[in-house]
Amino acid sequence: MLSYQLFLLARIILCLLQSHQSLSLQSNTFLLPLSHTLSSTNSSLHHLLKSSSLRSSTRHGRRHGTHRRPPLSLPLSSGSDYTLSLSVGPSSSPTTVSLFMDTGSDLIWFPCSPFECILCEGKSNPNSNSTISPPPADSHLVSCASLACSAAHSSQPSSDLCAAAKCPLDAIETSSCSSHACPPLYYAYGDGSLLAHLRHGRLSLSSSKPNSLSVSNFTFACAHSTLAEPVGVAGFGRGPLSLPAQLSALSPSLSSRFSYCLVSHSFRTDRLLHPSPLILGRSPEVSSIGPTESAFVYTPLLHNPKHPYFYSVALEAISVGPIKILARPDLASIDHAGNGGMVVDSGTTFTMLPEETFSQVSTEFDRHMSSAGFSRAKETEAKTGLSPCYNFNSDRSSNRLVPSLAFHFKSNATVELPRRNYFMGFKSEGKRVGCLMLMNGGGGSDETDSGPAGTLGNFQQQGFEVVYDLEAGRVGFARRRCTALWDTLARG
């Protein structure tokens, strides 16, 4: 942690000295549009659901230790990710790249030619191979003696990094490796991995309004080889290389607090006519609350000693109708090895719960649905990877029979989900069906898994403004009409 703090301090001092950075803001708030990849896919609903459920399971499983190697059998499109655009390179000839917005990681990377992506055939990619550019002309490789290099390589000491970079022994012994480039870094996600080189260069963001900001010595990674990752990632995690952390040089508020409001879609493209607002720096308390909206409820962030970039919170219970089910204890705490807690993740689609907790929730949910006369739709469960599913007519009277569902986080932070966030009706094989949109994340008591116990996915976050308040060490949730919030903030 000390190296992280030193790195952040160095970044702030260095970037404040840059003479050509700009921040054309009337306030400390900056608005960015998030696009949903669903709007650019032609996949069937069954394929999207199956893909999203498998991808969520694999991403959580890799974190939780149940997958020992990169998966080789994932569907080739997901349709459940959010992207933002940024520009890199000289201001006279910038290159625009679209990146996945991911609160579950802390690195900014994008493909650079020559580029090879293994197992990427058919995957949706806003950055096609024909538009992938070489490393930005104004960028340069990061030194292996740099604090940025140590941060990217999990805080490895510079002597080890110098050795990996094949520095001469006398250079290692005299700490004079500054002329040698940081060795390539390996970065693994739940659903893919990459090899990349760390670089410094200019990065710019443009708002929906005629505002922009740029940092001339931004640290990012250029990837030339990836596995199942054709698109770059903008990491918003808690590490020093994340996008918010590096923007602290422009304004401390840009790194101390950000929020997003994901427009509800239910996998329908006609509901994605507005972007989802990503808001940097704004204090959510200044916003007015509409009649269908709610005030923020906050739960404290938990520290994870092994994965300090995770936004981990404590889930204490889940209510299904009037029944309150206590969550498995490791969902509410993190041990010294970094195991436990629930990660709030914009890059995973469906919420993943430990097997024991999921079983209790799904059993209680099924008891309600069965007593209301709904029969199971087993074929739909096999086609989508979701369970339980039911033969379900999505009319008003049927909707009233679906039990309510709420998450209870530490500090009395209760988040009552709208029905569309946990039970979705759709047509399957000519019949109307509906499925519970939570998933079994495994991790039974007889397993030796490690890592986070649960993941709060982006599907369950729809229709909420989710604020990451780093200054106060908490995450907040408030019901919002996200399209109206976008319109209000875009008008300024």
Q: What is the pLDDT of residues 234-292, one digit of tens each?
A: 999 999 999 999 998 888 888 899 999 999 998 888 888 889 999 999 877 756 677 77
- The string over 459-482, giving b where at least 16 C-beta atoms fall within 10 Å of a residue's C-beta and e elsewhere, is bbbbbbbbbbbbeeebbbbbbbbb
How distant, in Å, are the alpha carbons of 263, 288, 298, 384 from that of 487?
12, 14, 25, 34
Q: Which of 81, 102, 106, 449 is catalytic?
A: 102
Question: Rounded CA gap, 208 and 277, in Å?
Answer: 10
Q: Is the pLDDT of residue 164 over 70?
A: yes
Instruction: Give the contacts of 5 (CB within 8 A, at least 6 positions apart).
Output: none
**Mean confidence (pLDDT) of the chain:** 86
- List the domain boundaries for the chain: 2-19+82-251, 261-491
- The DSSP-derived string for 145-201 is TSHHHHHHTTT--HHHHHHHTT--HHHHHTT--TTSBPPPEEEE-SS-EEEEEEEEE
Mean pLDDT for the stretch of residues 30-39: 87
Distance CA 283, CA 288 (A): 12
* DSSP assignment string, 438-455: EEE----TTS---S-SEE
Q: What pLDDT digit, counting tens, does each position of 424-436 carry?
A: 999 988 899 999 9
- Note the pLDDT of residue 186: 92
- Cα gap 87→323, rounded to integer Å: 50
Q: Are 167 and 144 in contact (CB under 8 A)?
A: yes
Active site residue 366: no
pLDDT for position 94: 93
Question: Is 345 a catalytic site residue?
Answer: yes
Give the pLDDT of residue 22. 34
Task: Provide the pLDDT for residue 266.
Answer: 85
pTM: 0.88
CATH superfamily, region 2-19+82-251? Acid Proteases (2.40.70.10)
Respond yes or no on whether the N-terminal peptide bond of residue 114 is cis (omega within 30° of 0): yes
Active-site choice (81, 330, 345, 449): 345
Q: Given CA atoms 168, 171, 177, 179 in this order, what sign does their dihedral have? A: negative
For residue 371, the SS3 value is helix
44, pLDDT greater than 80 = yes
**Are 2-19+82-251 and 261-491 in the same CATH fold?**
yes
Question: If DSSP codes are grouped into helix, strand and coil, which group holds residue 212?
Answer: strand
More confident residue, 285 or 421: 421
- With 90 as the cut, is the pLDDT of residue 386 above it? yes
Percent helix, strand and coil across the chain, each to the nearest 5: 25, 30, 45
Separation between Cα atoms, residue 367 and residue 361, nearest integer Å: 10
Phi and psi at residue 378, to the nearest 5°: -65, -35
Alpha-carbon torsion 35, 41, 46, 52, what sign? Answer: negative
- Beta carbons of 37 and 78 less than 8 angstroms apart: yes
| pLDDT confidence band for 24 (50 / 70 / 90) | very low
Fold of 261-491: Cathepsin D, subunit A; domain 1 (2.40.70)
